[in-house]
Amino acid sequence: MSYLLDILMLILLVFEMMFFYLPPVLHEAVGVALLLPILWHLVLNRRYVSSLGRGRWNGPRGVRFALNVLLASACLVTVISGCLTSSVLFADIVPFSLRSNPSLYQLHSAAARYFLVLAGLHLGWHLPTWWQRWLFAYVR
């Protein structure tokens, strides 16, 4: 189940980054839909958050923590700025003066790019463990 969730998040993220080729309503819908697997991923990995106060902090643990904080921050900024610049899904909720703010578009674009890079680093950090678990479970 965890592998399918990881693959789903990767596919949705890549699909979301093809926004030039998507109609705005689809880009916004996929962006909102991407939140569900991310939240489920956080629920499945809640032991990581609860273990932060225990144990020794060495270099790799500090780097992983910093990466996760930056990833969560980029995700939040992307989602919030995306909702504020929404031209379809949240157009009735967000005032036009806020939706048409060019700075919000730039913030959303920059945060989304950071989110993509940080998600790639996050995946790369966990890929060796993910691969070993997959080999142990399915190849034997």
Q: Is residue 29 within 8 Å of residue 19, measured between CB atoms?
A: no
Amino acid identity of residue 78, one-letter, is T
Q: Which two tokens stand for residue 83?
A: 């909702």
Query: Is residue 83 within 8 Å of 29, Cβ to Cβ?
Result: no
Kindly report, residue by residue over 39-95, the tens digit of the pLDDT. Answer: 999 999 899 888 988 989 999 999 999 999 999 999 999 999 999 999 899 989 999
Those residues whose C-beta lies under 8 Å from the C-beta of residue 125, and which sit 6 or more positions away, are 64, 67
Write out the E strands in the chain. none
Among the listed residues 66, 76, 65, the one whose alpha carbon sits nearest the alpha carbon of residue 108: 76
Q: Using 50, 70 and 90 to split pLDDT, how confident is the model at 138?
A: confident
